[in-house]
Amino acid sequence: MIEVGTVLEEKVFYLDRALLKQYADASGDQNPIHQNEEFAVSVGLPNVIAHGMLTMALVGKYVSDFAGGSANVLEYSARFIKPVIVPLGEKVDLTVTATVSEIADGKVSISLSATSAGVKVLGMAKAVVRK
Amino acid sequence: MLNPDSVGSTFAGTESITVSQSEIDAFCAVVGESDTTIAPPTFTIRITLTQFEEILTRPEIGLDWSRLVHGDQKFEIFIPVKAGDQLTCAATIESYRVAAGNEIVSVRSDLHKGSELAVSAWSTLVVRA
């Protein structure tokens, strides 16, 4: 039974350079800051960073699972506040949890939390699902 | 710099896009989604960002895509997207401001399936100074 204030189970996704390349191909976003370390550093980034939309896609999977399938996801939004940094040869975490914020008219609203290496990467992340 | 006269205007994308199963499969594979009958909730960014790039970099609008950072993103999904859907995209430049030399543009995209609105998506795009 879920009610307002219920905290949903945490899920951890892992990102590595291979996943960034896979997302670049799947999304069409081939910006080199997500694949080429030398380029990323040259534009002032600490290292290669994940696409904000990859982070959002992974958290979206968490939302779809909660909703009982992507067909039940009605709204989903997030602000990109910090990059997920993906050094070569490492798997970095994306740790996701959520709290139920509203239940009305067969719809459930959740507030999402997403961190990587302990740093909050998405702000104001919310979803509304049919449930 | 973005042409301020374009704020408030809606621009149609150039063509209709047919969603393929292989595109949905590839997106599902990234996130570990086993149900490939429905596109994941953020799938349409694949269409939207490509269309935004084409539209917003037109000479009369003038956005510099090479220095772009994604600020935030919102989706409202009215009809879940499936393989075979034919979608058309229109982009509306909803707001524009310059802060500390950064250009901040809010763009809404409406994806229609036939005459029905399937997905509206809002993107805040920041062109770094």
CATH of the domain at B12: 3.10.129.10
Answer for the pair B95, B7: CB distance below 8 angstroms, yes or no: yes
Q: What's the pLDDT at B15?
A: 80
pLDDT tens for each residue of A63-115? 999 999 999 999 999 999 999 999 999 999 999 999 999 999 999 999 999 99
Report, in angstroms and rounded to the nearest whole number, the Rg of chain A calculated over CA atoms: 16
What does the pLDDT read at residue A104?
95
Residues of B within 8 A of A73 (CB-CB) are 41, 77
Provide the pLDDT for residue B50: 83
The pLDDT score that the predictor gives to residue B25 is: 98
Taking CB atoms and an 8 Å cutoff, what residues of chain B touch A69? 35, 38
Predicted confidence (pLDDT) at residue A32 exceeds the cutoff of 80: yes
Q: Is B75 on the interface with A (CB under 8 A)?
A: yes
Give the span between the Cα atoms of B22 and A131, in whole angstroms: 29
For residue B120, pLDDT beyond 80: yes
- Overall average pLDDT of the B111-125 stretch: 96
The better pLDDT of the pair B50, A130 is held by A130
Residues of chain A found within 8 Å of residue B38, distances taken between Cβ atoms: 69-71
pLDDT bin (cut points 50, 70, 90) of residue B62 is confident
Residue pLDDT, tens place only, B2-60: 888 889 889 887 789 999 999 999 999 999 999 999 999 999 999 988 888 888 888 88
* Confidence class for position A11, pLDDT limits 50, 70, 90: very high
pLDDT the model gives residue A40: 93
Distance from CA of A121 to the nearest CA of B (A): 12
| pLDDT value at A33 more than 80 | yes
Percent with pLDDT over 90 in chain A = 94
CA atoms lying within 13 Å on the CB side of residue A38:
0
A69 CB neighbour count, 10 Å cutoff: 16
pLDDT band (50, 70, 90) for residue B64:
confident
A76 and chain B in contact, CB less than 8 A: yes
The helix (H) or strand (E) run that includes residue A109 is: strand A107-116
- Specify the DSSP element, H or E, that contains B31: helix B21-31
Beta carbons of A85 and A117 less than 8 angstroms apart: yes
- d(Cα B113, Cα A101) in Å, to the nearest integer? 32
pLDDT confidence tier of residue A1, bands split at 50, 70 and 90: confident
A7-15+50-130 is a CATH 3.10.129.10 domain: yes
| C-alpha of A106 from chain center | 25
The count of structural domains within chain B is 1
CA angle B83, B87, B89 (to 5 degrees): 145
In this predicted structure, what is the pLDDT of residue A98? 98
Q: Does the beta carbon of A60 lie under 8 angstroms from any beta carbon of chain B?
A: yes
Domain that holds residue B49: 4-127
Average pLDDT, chain B: 92
Which of B23, B30, B71 is the closest to A19 by Cβ?
A: B30
**How many residue contacts between A and B have a Cβ separation below 8 Å?**
90
Question: How would you class B52 by CB atoms within 10 Å of its CB: exposed for 0-12, middle for 13-18, buried for 19 or more?
Answer: buried
Maximum alpha-carbon separation in chain A: 51
- Quick one: pLDDT band at residue A51, thresholds 50, 70, 90? very high
> How is chain A split into domains, by residue range?
7-15+50-130
Q: What is the pTM of this model?
A: 0.95
φ, ψ for residue A44, nearest 5 deg: 90, 10
Pairwise CB contact (< 8 Å): B75 & A71: no
